[in-house]
Amino acid sequence: MFADLIHLHQNDFQTIAEAWIRVGAQAIRLVEHGEMIASMPKDISFSKKEIIGRNASGSLELHIHGMNDGAWQSIADAMTELFSHVLTTETEMEELTASLVETQDKLVALYELTQSARRALKIDDLLDLLIQESRRLLDADGAFTAIYFNNHRPQIRQSAIEPLPEAHLHAASTIYRKDTRRHNFKDSMTLPRGLSNVIMSTLPVRENVFACIGVFNKTGDFTSHDIKLLRAIAEQSGAQIDNALLYQEALARTRFETEMDLARQVQIALLPQSIPTLDGLDIYGASAPASQVGGDFFDIIARKGQPLVFMLGDITGKGMPAALLMTMTRTTARSAARNMPFSRPDQIVKRLNTDLLDDFSTVSMFSTAFIGTFDPVNRSLLFSNAGQSPILFMPVQGEPQLLEAQDIPIGIFEDYEYISQTLSLVPGDVLVAATDGFNESRNNAGEMFGMERMLLALKHLRGLSARGIADGLFKAVNNFSEDHPQDDDRTIIVLKVSERMESVSFQIPAGYEDLRIAAKALRELLMLHKVQESVINNCELAMQELLSNIVEHSYSGNKDKMIEVRLQVDGKRLIIETRDSGIPANIKLESVAMPDPLELQVGGYGMAIIQALMDEVQHQYKNEKNLWTLTKKI
Amino acid sequence: MDITHKVSNSINIIQLGGRFDAHEVAPVVAWLKGQAEAGKVNLVVNLAGVNFIDSTALSTLVQGLKHCREKNGELHLCCMQQPVRVIFELTRLDKAFSIYTSEEEATAFQA
């Protein structure tokens, strides 16, 4: 290995050779491991006489021809040693320089890589940059990274002149992963097809992720420098990959959270936004979802001329799957309730079971449901209970009781025959259908709210309206669980049979004879509320005056036009509301006065009578309609 | 509405029953018009059977009263049920009309 360097010291060799020649030598040769690396003069025939100087290791010899005086031997040895030393130093210098240059190259390359990597926020961009640079720096045909997020298939990215099937790179990374101490593979027998040689290095990322980089198919073999460089690149990139992974996860989490948030909003929007009102029944429903999307649903559907349908259910499980099935179940139930004429609860449940069985079975989930219909005329409640609990019945006289589910949940057995049960209710009876988010709520001590507490709370709340009862139960369970986070959705429907009819709404044509209909309805409503006859008369007259006014002035007696009337008894007040789409009433209510009787005025009594008889008279013209509201304490 | 016509002491009497309201005023308006055309200016409206009266009916009666008085006659009312009387008091039209408790009194006054 001195052969490459001797030319650097040709002058030194020449000086020494000339010195020997002056003292009688014919020629000088420098021999390393038996091979001549320098001689002087160049062309001579060597005589047999020679002295051979050797360095300490014996690798270098100085052959001095034409001399055989043993006195020169030690000088020759010393000179050879000196030469050997100079050349060794030179070699080391050379190597050091080479290594310095290489280190410099690597540093520049790494610096560039780091700079570019910093701009690559996305993990895929970063990995692509990494493999392209590694390939270039190591002068190989291809490079790849493999990231194992779990124990199965790694995510592979490659950059190659001739890209290899992912399976082959997967296989190569698996071999390396088994024993990361081996990092240089050149045995084509163990390597997957298409790989002639490959070097690997681990990318130091977080603990639960294994990531590695490989550079493959270099002409010739990878050197130990290549391996060192790859390791340096890998070490440098680990932190950046980690950051990119974090960024990607944060991004995914944000996106997921946004989507979940959206899903939750959709779910909430799917719950009834307003509760229909029904004469003879006070009904209220509400849902308090847990923080995530959930599986509870409820619905209250009023259909003209048919019993009111209400439903409440709970899909097993939580999160997105439950939410999706909840949406489906609710939609199917709603369409079943709406579109099946005179549907009984058992028919609706059966339809749900038939329609959704496949979907539920596929994901091994099911749904409990309570579906009821209420006919206000005969106050009969028909219901089917597919595994829903708790259902609490609180008769106006007697203790509250738990109605056990009669049937199995939806989504378990095909062709299951669900049944409807009947409950005849009397005014004051209360029925509460809830989901287990109520009774299974826990406090910080780990205790459950339980059925007993729920029944007790209900007993205290029974006197309130349906909404009052529902709000009270929400409050009771909140107070119990204190600051313990809500684990499950809480959904409730409360029915309370009204003591008496609270309101009636109808339309009449704008003809004088049809005002009788309104008068009859008003008398009936007020008689139900046991209002004094004289008060009923006054209210009837006030309404008559209002309706005659509308017929005469607003619609000019056009009987094709309709007047909407709503009569409501709200506590101790009667409220008469009318709407008509006729000419806007042009009247100053505050300046209405009873005409002077002695002037014998024909007309002008109507509005004055109304004002004299009622406590409040209001008129609004809104959305192209006259809205009149008369209020009277009864 | 039930309507009966009657003549007593040569005074034309109309007896009304049931609801006397906007829907029912037409026959009464027609009768009043007929009386005016016939020159009859002293009339009696017996409200004994009326259980409900509204402002249109009131206006009809006021109109009749005006006509009679213009011709120096009078339109008398009699036999009001309590709910009807209440409305007359409310509108203070009890001050405008001569109101009697019986048909005899109403016609007697004329004689």
Q: Is A166 on the interface with B (CB under 8 A)?
A: no
CA distance B40 to chain A (A): 20
In this structure, is residue A43 part of a structural domain?
Answer: yes
Boundaries of domain holding B16 = 2-110
In this structure, is residue A256 part of a structural domain?
Answer: no
pLDDT at A141 over 80: yes
Q: Which of A141-145, A222-226, A452-456, B82-86 has the lowest mean pLDDT?
A: A222-226
Nearest CA in chain B to A535: B83
Return the pLDDT at B111. 45
Return the pLDDT at A43. 60
Residue A90: CB atoms within 10 A of its CB come to: 16
Q: Where residue A131 falls among pLDDT bands split at 50, 70, 90? A: very high
Q: Which of A38-47, A55-64, B11-20 has the lowest mean pLDDT?
A: A38-47
Return the pLDDT at A188. 67
- Cβ-nearest to A548 among B22, B63, B66: B22
Q: Number of Cβ pairs closer than 8 Å across A and B?
A: 71
pLDDT at A130 over 60: yes
Q: Is A563 on the interface with B (CB under 8 A)?
A: no
Residue A573's DSSP bridge partners are A570, A633
Amino acid at position A498, single letter: S
Task: Examine the domain organization and report whether A425 and A458 are in the same domain.
Answer: yes
Task: Examine the domain organization and report whether A512 and A627 are in the same domain.
Answer: yes
Q: Is A534 on the interface with B (CB under 8 A)?
A: yes
Amino acid at position A269, single letter: A
Backbone angles phi, psi at A437, to 5 degrees: -60, -20
Using a CB-CB distance cutoff of 8 angstroms, which residues of chain A are in contact with residue B83? 534, 537
CB contact under 8 A, B59 and A545: no
Task: Examine the domain organization and report whether A331 and A193 are in the same domain.
Answer: no
Using a CB-CB distance cutoff of 8 angstroms, which residues of chain A are in contact with residue B63? 602
Q: Which of A51-55, A311-315, A340-344, A561-565 has the lowest mean pLDDT?
A: A340-344
Torsion, Cα of A330, A332, A338, A339 (10° steps): 180
pLDDT at A176 over 80: yes
CB contact under 8 A, A602 and B95: no
Task: Examine the domain organization and report whether A136 and A11 are in the same domain.
Answer: no
In this structure, is residue A376 part of a structural domain?
Answer: yes
Higher-confidence residue: A473 or A326? Answer: A473
ipTM, interface predicted TM-score of the complex:
0.92
CATH number at residue A621: 3.30.565.10
Nearest CA in chain B to A605: B55
Return the pLDDT at B19. 94
CB contact under 8 A, B22 and A601: no
Task: Examine the domain organization and report whether A319 and A405 are in the same domain.
Answer: yes
Q: Is A516 on the interface with B (CB under 8 A)?
A: yes
Q: Is B22 on the interface with A (CB under 8 A)?
A: yes
Q: Is B6 on the interface with A (CB under 8 A)?
A: no
User: DSSP alpha helices (H): ranges in B21-80?
Assistant: 25-37, 55-70
In this structure, is residue A519 part of a structural domain?
Answer: yes
Boundaries of domain holding A131 = 120-248
Identify the three-state secondary structure at position A548.
Answer: helix
A307 in Cβ contact with A422 (< 8 Å): no
Query: What span, in angstroms and rounded, lies between the C-alpha atoms of A136 and A130?
Result: 10
Using a CB-CB distance cutoff of 8 angstroms, which residues of chain B are in contact with residue A602? 59, 62-63, 66
Can you give A292-354 as a three-state secondary structure string? CCCCEEEEEECCCCCCEEEEEEEECCCHHHHHHHHHHHHHHHHHHHHHCCCCCHHHHHHHHHH
- Cβ-nearest to B58 among A534, A551, A605: A605
Using a CB-CB distance cutoff of 8 angstroms, which residues of chain B are in contact with residue A511? 23
Element (H, E) at A121: none
CB contact under 8 A, A600 and B23: no
Identify the three-state secondary structure at position A259.
Answer: helix
Query: What span, in angstroms and rounded, lies between the C-alpha atoms of A392 and A407?
Result: 16
Give how many domains chain A has, as a whole number: 4
Return the pLDDT at B110. 54
Four-residue CA torsion sign, B21, B24, B30, B35: negative
Nearest CA in chain B to A596: B92
Query: What span, in angstroms and rounded, lies between the C-alpha atoms of A289 and A486?
Result: 8
The two beta strands, A503-509 and A562-570, are antiparallel
Q: Is A544 on the interface with B (CB under 8 A)?
A: yes
Burial (CB count <10 Å: 0-12, 13-18, 19+), residue A551? buried
**Which residue out of B91, B94, B99 would a mutagenesis test of the A interface target, given it has the greatest number of A Cβ atoms within 10 Å?**
B91
- Cβ-nearest to B91 among A537, A548, A597: A597
Q: Where residue A500 falls among pLDDT bands split at 50, 70, 90? A: low
* Mean local confidence (pLDDT), A362-370: 89
CB contact under 8 A, B87 and A603: no
In this structure, is residue A262 part of a structural domain?
Answer: no
Identify the three-state secondary structure at position A409.
Answer: coil
CA distance B9 to chain A (A): 27
pLDDT at A449 over 90: yes
Give how many domains chain B has, as a whole number: 1
CATH number at residue A375: 3.60.40.10
pLDDT digits (tens, 9 = 90+) for A537-553: 999 999 999 999 999 99
B58 in Cβ contact with B87 (< 8 Å): yes
Residue A308, token pair as written in the block: 């009111």
Residues of chain B with confidence (pLDDT) below 50: 111
Task: Examine the domain organization and report whether A350 and A466 are in the same domain.
Answer: yes
pLDDT digits (tens, 9 = 90+) for A214-261: 999 998 888 888 888 898 888 888 888 888 888 888 888 887 777 777
pLDDT digits (tens, 9 = 90+) for A575-592: 999 999 999 998 888 889
Using a CB-CB distance cutoff of 8 angstroms, which residues of chain B are in contact with residue A513? 23
CB contact under 8 A, A597 and B93: yes
Domain stops at, among A435, A464, A497:
A497
In this structure, is residue A261 part of a structural domain?
Answer: no
Task: Examine the domain organization and report whether A80 and A140 are in the same domain.
Answer: no
pLDDT at A344 over 60: yes
Average pLDDT, chain A: 87
A531: Cβ contacts below 8 Å, ≥ 6 apart: A539, A574, A634
* Mean local confidence (pLDDT), A351-378: 87
CB contact under 8 A, B55 and A594: no
CB contact under 8 A, B23 and A545: no
Touching A: B residues 40-99, CB under 8 Å = 52, 54-56, 58-59, 62-63, 65-66, 69, 83, 86-87, 90-96
Using a CB-CB distance cutoff of 8 angstroms, which residues of chain B are in contact with residue A548? 21-22, 54-56
Q: Please report how the helices A606-613 and A533-549 are oriented relative to each other, as an axis angle in degrees rounded to 10.
A: 140
Return the pLDDT at A408. 93
* pLDDT-above-70 percentage for chain A: 97
- Cβ-nearest to A597 among B22, B69, B96: B96
- Cβ-nearest to A545 among B55, B65, B96: B55
Task: Examine the domain organization and report whether A340 and A479 are in the same domain.
Answer: yes
Q: Is A364 on the interface with B (CB under 8 A)?
A: no
Q: Is A543 on the interface with B (CB under 8 A)?
A: no
Q: Where residue A373 falls among pLDDT bands split at 50, 70, 90? A: very high
Using a CB-CB distance cutoff of 8 angstroms, which residues of chain B are in contact with residue A613? 90
CB contact under 8 A, A544 and B54: yes
CB contact under 8 A, A548 and B62: no
Query: What span, in angstroms and rounded, lies between the C-alpha atoms of A112 and A107?
Result: 8
In this structure, is residue A259 part of a structural domain?
Answer: no
- Cβ-nearest to B96 among A537, A552, A600: A600
